[in-house]
Structure 1
Amino acid sequence: MAALAAGLALHVGVGTALAADGYHSRYAERFQALPALPPIPANNSLTAEKVELGKMLFFEPRISASGVISCATCHNPALGWSDRIPRAVGHAGQVGERNTPTVLNSGFFTAQFWDGREPDLEGQALGPIEAEVEMNMPLDQALQRIKEFEIYHEKFAEAFGGAPGEAITLANVAKALASFQRTLNTPNSPFDRYLQGDLQALSDSQKRGMAAFVDNGCTACHTGPALTDSLFHRIQVPGSSDLGRYLVTGDENDQYRFKTPTLRNVAVTYPYFNNGATATLEEATQIMAREMLGREFDEQTIKDVVAFLHSLTGEMPDVQVPALP
């Protein structure tokens, strides 16, 4: 009975504290905590074997024309799984047209790339390998390169079944890479803990920033567990002439439309926007207020919103760089 009474008292105490926190009672229901894993597609079950193989391929530089560029070159685990430069640098030092988006929590997105040209991680996986400004390796040559190593014959067979060698296909390369990327999630941020009832997880400034974020309509686009609707919105940021989604659809209404970027871990995935020309969260927040909301935020609002954005940095995945053959 004593234990039951103590448990009830604790429950009542938490409930009382939640009720006393006006921010939580008013705003928490507008958000979703980040689950440990994203949705898993029916045609690509998540297995330890696929994840391990996908990790090897993610760090494998020999599926690039130069033999020195891998997926991890631009999606560096030490740099928020991005590269922290304005625009990606790829094969032969070529500079791409767009900023490298982080792959963290990308399994929660329903559109991939800034222009949404692929709907899922399987569709996204092979594009950078053959892109001339990225890894510049024709896909059939990349497949032959993989087949040169006996360990890959074994790993593909373990992940997908069949005789060694038969499972080394482009479709399975994509599935393995996608499987690995679905494990790169960052739950348990201060904001997640706050949503789950830890009222001390956010500072007063972060709570005010959360309120400003909602009250100013930011959740219209930055919604769902990854704080993105994966839809496309028109924005012209300073220094960019990129036509965005229009280059995929050819629809003039899609000019300058880009996919809403995730705000998860945004404090560690700078610089910002499609051209990476915006260096700080303070500047990015004001640009968003001006371009998307048609207003100027005062200094205190900027400070509070930026503090809130810092609370979205979660626990980074613990990934050991694999020893490659």
Structure 2
Amino acid sequence: MKLNSLVRPLILVAATTGATAFAQAAKPAAPAAPATAAQKVVIDRALLNAFKVLPTRFEDAKNPITAEKVELGRMLYFDTRLSKNQDVSCNSCHDLNKYGVDGKPTSPGHKKQLGGRNSPTVYNAGGHILQFWDGRAPNLEEQAKGPILNPVEMAMPNAERVVETVKSIPGYVTSFQKAFPGEADPVTYDNLAKAIGAFERQLVTPSPFDKYLAGDENALTEAQKAGLKKFLDQGCQTCHNGPAIGGSLQKLGLVVPFQTKDQGRFEVTKNEADRMIFRVPTLRNVTKTGPWFHDGSVKELPTAVKLMAQHQFGKQISDDDAKSIVVFLDALTGELPKSYIAKPKLPASGPKTPKPDPS
């Protein structure tokens, strides 16, 4: 079955639900006074069923997580030798000490070329239904293969060159043997991607909101609860849901067209129904991962909130409401797993390891 045929029902459900939320949101309502310490905000916990407490890791039966795979994947994630000129690694664009982003609209790669889309965070990405802004990769393992061979990003000419490079590093050969025991030739491009995927599946950042979802009413401040109530009243959970609070596919400009040259998933499938379909970004750590949107064009998060209300629901919300929602969004900021993301010592190059190639 084609991936696109699986995805379209998800889009249809989201679009239908979004239209319902828009109809409800369009009803005039009296402006609510800002919450104070003396005012208790009441949240209908039934509405919280749209979310899920973040797991400790995102499992995939096709790629069981082991300590050996994670150790190998961590090294590969930080290794610039996986790029043609040996100056770009996964961490270059998805800096784990900066909540998995580089803070730039689009990221520089080989020969400082700029990519066409903003580099999204890798934290909690295991909770996404699909990977990349256009959903062209079904999982983290397939996603890991893309940037290495992309001529604008890491620019390796082919998978064979990558495998040749890794095999020239004695320490990696040993690590692959440990991570994939019993395989006659464990150093493969697929296994390289599996190791990186295993490492990324444990890049999770539980936040105060997870404690709140689990029943701790004191995990959020009253101001954060007020922002959450506005978030729910607007219907934002229509798209931003699940453990990653995002990660499905949705049309950008569901009600009011969004002007952009990038047509999203249509660029991959050339199917008219996929025009302007993008993967919904996770809202976890969103206050730390700007600039926002697929092109990194929005520098202020309240502006992003107002634009989403306009384009997805056809509604103009006030500056105060947008700021209140951002207060809630800050409760989605988790603590970085410092020991887990510490840069490891990389194995030394061998005599046959290729030299940097700036061409």
Matched with 2:122 is 103
**Once the 2 structures are TM-superposed, how far is the Cα of residue 287 of structure 1 from its aligned partner?**
0.6
Amino acid at match of 2:219: A
Matched with 1:243 is 263
Cα distance between partner residues in 2 of 1:313 and 1:37: 17
Change in Cα spacing, 1:119 to 1:288, as seen in structure 2 (3 Å) is same
Query: 1:71-150 alignment to 2 at 5 Å?
Result: 71-137=90-156, 138-150=158-170
Q: Deviations over 1:66-125 (max 9, x none)?
A: 111101100111221111100111100101110000000111111000000011011111
Matched with 1:298 is 318
Cα distance between partner residues in 2 of 1:229 and 1:155: 32
Q: CA RMSD in A?
A: 1.6
Amino acid at match of 2:238: A
- Is the 1:58–1:177 Cα contact (8 Å) retained in structure 2? yes
Cα distance between partner residues in 1 of 2:169 and 2:50: 50
Matched with 1:7 is none
2:217 to 193, 199, 218: 199
Secondary structure, counterpart of 2:303 in structure 1: helix
Amino acid at match of 1:44: N
| Identical-pair percentage | 42
Cα distance between partner residues in 1 of 2:88 and 2:50: 41
**Once the 2 structures are TM-superposed, how far is the Cα of residue 169 of structure 1 from its aligned partner?**
0.5
Matched with 2:345 is 323
**Once the 2 structures are TM-superposed, how far is the Cα of residue 53 of structure 1 from its aligned partner?**
0.2
**Once the 2 structures are TM-superposed, how far is the Cα of residue 26 of structure 1 from its aligned partner?**
5.5
Amino acid at match of 2:305: T
Shift >3 Å, 4+ stretches = 24-30, 235-238
Most deviating of 134-143 and 192-201: 192-201
Which structure 1 segments of 5+ residues have no match? 1-19
- Is the 2:249–2:277 Cα contact (8 Å) retained in structure 1? no
Amino acid at match of 1:157: Q
1:288 to 308, 324, 337: 308
* TM-score under structure 2 length normalisation: 0.81
- Is the 2:110–2:152 Cα contact (8 Å) retained in structure 1? yes
Amino acid at match of 1:182: R
Most deviating of 313-322 and 62-71: 313-322
Cα distance between partner residues in 1 of 2:135 and 2:95: 22
Query: 1:251-266 alignment to 2 at 5 Å?
Result: 251-266=271-286
Q: Deviations over 1:11-45 (max 9, x none)?
A: xxxxxxxxx8622646444432211112x222211
- Is the 1:234–1:254 Cα contact (8 Å) retained in structure 2? no
- Is the 2:41–2:222 Cα contact (8 Å) retained in structure 1? no
Cα distance between partner residues in 2 of 1:21 and 1:256: 37
**Once the 2 structures are TM-superposed, how far is the Cα of residue 299 of structure 1 from its aligned partner?**
2.2
- Is the 1:95–1:133 Cα contact (8 Å) retained in structure 2? yes
**Once the 2 structures are TM-superposed, how far is the Cα of residue 147 of structure 1 from its aligned partner?**
0.7
1:50 paired to 2:69: yes
**Once the 2 structures are TM-superposed, how far is the Cα of residue 203 of structure 1 from its aligned partner?**
1.9
Matched with 1:168 is 187
Change in Cα spacing, 1:185 to 1:46, as seen in structure 2 (3 Å) is same
Change in Cα spacing, 1:30 to 1:244, as seen in structure 2 (3 Å) is closer
Change in Cα spacing, 1:64 to 1:25, as seen in structure 2 (3 Å) is closer
- Is the 1:21–1:199 Cα contact (8 Å) retained in structure 2? no
- Is the 1:232–1:245 Cα contact (8 Å) retained in structure 2? no
Secondary structure, counterpart of 2:262 in structure 1: coil
Query: 1:176-215 alignment to 2 at 5 Å?
Result: 176-187=195-206, 189-215=207-233
**Once the 2 structures are TM-superposed, how far is the Cα of residue 237 of structure 1 from its aligned partner?**
5.0
Amino acid at match of 1:265: N
**Once the 2 structures are TM-superposed, how far is the Cα of residue 194 of structure 1 from its aligned partner?**
1.6
**Once the 2 structures are TM-superposed, how far is the Cα of residue 230 of structure 1 from its aligned partner?**
1.4
Kindly tell me the number of residue pairs found equivalent between the two proteins. 302
- Is the 1:222–1:263 Cα contact (8 Å) retained in structure 2? yes
- Is the 2:127–2:244 Cα contact (8 Å) retained in structure 1? yes
Change in Cα spacing, 1:117 to 1:26, as seen in structure 2 (3 Å) is closer
Cα distance between partner residues in 2 of 1:21 and 1:309: 16
Cα distance between partner residues in 1 of 2:264 and 2:45: 39
**Which is bigger in relative contact order (C-alpha 8 A, separation at least 6)?**
2
